């Protein structure tokens, strides 16, 4: 069993974005009553977890205009048009970045895509407070991202309990063995392994090679970051990935339907764990 080090606020790029997310969450408190009412009337959404179980390595395709690591990717991208292309190409789900300052995202994108395509939608943001998950449910997201390094273990537990109470699926993102053990101990049933260290922005493709085989077979395992080609998907299929999350290369593709179709066609290989 890993010995968990005392949690410290993240450094680097992740630390900056987490601080901004905390300010946004604080400002959202004035909308709590409205969000609670919206949650009460929210309709059932398709399951992302179920959609990612398929004979091929499932593709969670991301609408991504820019990022701290790459800068501008596709600044004028229309979220609905891109999501429709992903659906035609065989994506299992759509990831919508709603972080505005560093990724050019918007909750309006999520609302529009949720109404335009039948695929499950992940709200991808830096969720650091329960009210943000209330917003995710109110917006009609099927699932929301939680980044283990972004929050303390106690806050992670609170967020996971909140998400479950709202009927929201949770994709829990890790980058090392200790974070994976923590995510599993809190009952994560979808785990994303990020090859990118969000504090330094460096990518190590071997991160997924190392961690995905450690994820129990009953849990959805997703390789994230640095996945651009069918060969990349083959690499993570070989270590047992159920799915890949791909954003930059698809958002920038000249022919996104064809690019989606190529990445979504790799057969899945079951994990031994």
Q: How far apart are CA 177 and CA 181, in angstroms?
A: 6
Selecting among 67, 95, 142, 225, the annotated active-site residue is: 225
pLDDT digits (tens, 9 = 90+) for 58-115: 999 999 999 998 899 888 999 999 999 999 999 999 999 999 999 999 999 999 999 9
- Domain tally for the chain? 1
Pairing of strands 71-72, 66-67: antiparallel
Residue 24 lies in a domain: no
- State the average pLDDT over residues 119-148: 97
pLDDT digits (tens, 9 = 90+) for 162-221: 999 999 999 999 999 999 999 999 999 999 999 999 999 999 999 999 999 999 999 999
Q: Is the dihedral of CA 69, 72, 78, 82 positive or negative?
A: negative
- Is-catalytic flag, 135? no
Reading the block at residue 42, the tokens are 């929210």
The pLDDT of residue 1 is 46
- Is-catalytic flag, 70? no
| Cβ-based neighbour number of residue 55 at 10 Å | 7
Residue 30 lies in a domain: no
- Is-catalytic flag, 124? yes
The pLDDT of residue 7 is 87
The pLDDT of residue 81 is 97
Cα 48 versus chain centre, distance: 11
DSSP-based three-state secondary structure for 31:
helix
Tell whether the model's pLDDT for residue 260 goes beyond 90. Answer: yes
Could you tell me which of 85, 2, 48, 60 has the C-alpha nearest to residue 241? Answer: 60
- Is-catalytic flag, 20? no
pLDDT digits (tens, 9 = 90+) for 229-253: 999 999 999 999 999 999 899 999 9
The pLDDT of residue 4 is 59
- State the average pLDDT over residues 14-39: 95
The pLDDT of residue 109 is 96
- State the average pLDDT over residues 113-135: 97
Reading the block at residue 229, the tokens are 């080609």
Residue 93 lies in a domain: yes
pLDDT band at 2 (very low <50, low <70, confident <90, very high): low
- Is-catalytic flag, 225? yes
Tell whether the model's pLDDT for residue 3 goes beyond 60. Answer: no
Residue 37 lies in a domain: no
Residue 20 lies in a domain: no
DSSP for 139-197, written as a single string: HT-SEEEEEGGGS-HHHHHHHHHHHHHTT-EEEEEESSHHHHHHHHHTT-SEEEEESB-
CATH of the domain at 156: 3.20.20.70
Contact indicator for 259, 89 with CB cutoff of 8 Å = yes
Q: How far apart are CA 131 and CA 59, in angstroms?
A: 28
Selecting among 62, 135, 169, 179, the annotated active-site residue is: 62
The pLDDT of residue 166 is 95
List the domain range (segments joined by +) for residue 136. Answer: 46-263
| Cβ-based neighbour number of residue 53 at 10 Å | 13
Selecting among 67, 95, 142, 194, the annotated active-site residue is: 194
3-state secondary structure 101-129: HHHCCCHHHHHHHHHHCCCCEEEECCCCC
Selecting among 95, 99, 124, 135, the annotated active-site residue is: 124
Residue 3 lies in a domain: no
Selecting among 84, 99, 169, 224, the annotated active-site residue is: 224
Buried b / exposed e across 96-123, counting CB within 10 Å, b at 16+? bbbbeebbbbbbebbbbbbeebebbbbb
Expressed in percent and rounded to 5, the helix, strand and coil fractions of the chain are: 45, 20, 35
Tokens 């994976």, residue located: 180
The pLDDT of residue 273 is 61
Selecting among 99, 169, 173, 179, the annotated active-site residue is: 173
- Is-catalytic flag, 224? yes
Could you tell me which of 98, 52, 59 has the C-alpha nearest to residue 79? Answer: 98
- State the average pLDDT over residues 50-56: 97
Q: How far apart are CA 78 and CA 13, in angstroms?
A: 26
Q: Mean pLDDT over all residues of the chain?
A: 95
Residue 211 lies in a domain: yes
The pLDDT of residue 91 is 98
């Amino acid at each position: 069993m890993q010995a968990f080090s005392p949690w410290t606020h993240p450094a680097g790029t992740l630390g900056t974005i987490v601080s901004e997310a905390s300010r946004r969450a604080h400002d959202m408190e004035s909308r709590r009553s409205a969000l609670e009412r919206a949650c009460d009337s929210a309709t059932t959404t398709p399951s992302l977890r179920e959609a990612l179980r398929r004979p091929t390595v499932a593709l969670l395709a991301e609408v991504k205009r820019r990022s701290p690591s790459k800068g501008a990717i596709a600044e004028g991208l229309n979220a609905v048009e891109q999501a429709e292309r992903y659906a035609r190409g065989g994506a299992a789900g759509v990831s919508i970045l709603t972080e505005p300052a560093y990724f050019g995202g918007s909750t309006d994108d999520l609302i529009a895509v949720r109404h335009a395509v039948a695929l499950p939608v992940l709200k991808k943001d830096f969720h650091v407070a329960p009210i943000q998950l209330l917003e995710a449910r109110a917006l009609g997201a099927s699932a929301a991202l939680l980044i283990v390094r972004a929050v303390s273990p106690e806050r992670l537990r609170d967020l996971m309990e909140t998400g479950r109470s709202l009927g929201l699926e949770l994709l829990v993102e890790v980058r090392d063995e200790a974070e994976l053990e923590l995510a599993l101990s809190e009952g994560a049933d979808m785990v994303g392994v990020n090859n990118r260290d969000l504090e330094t922005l460096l990518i190590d493709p071997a991160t997924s090679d190392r961690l995905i085989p450690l994820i129990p077979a009953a849990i959805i395992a997703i390789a994230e970051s640095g996945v651009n080609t069918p060969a990349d998907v083959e690499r993570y299929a070989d270590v047992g990935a159920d799915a890949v999350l791909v954003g930059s290369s698809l958002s920038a593709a000249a022919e996104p339907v064809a690019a989606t179709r190529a990445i979504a066609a790799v057969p899945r290989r079951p994990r031994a764990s």
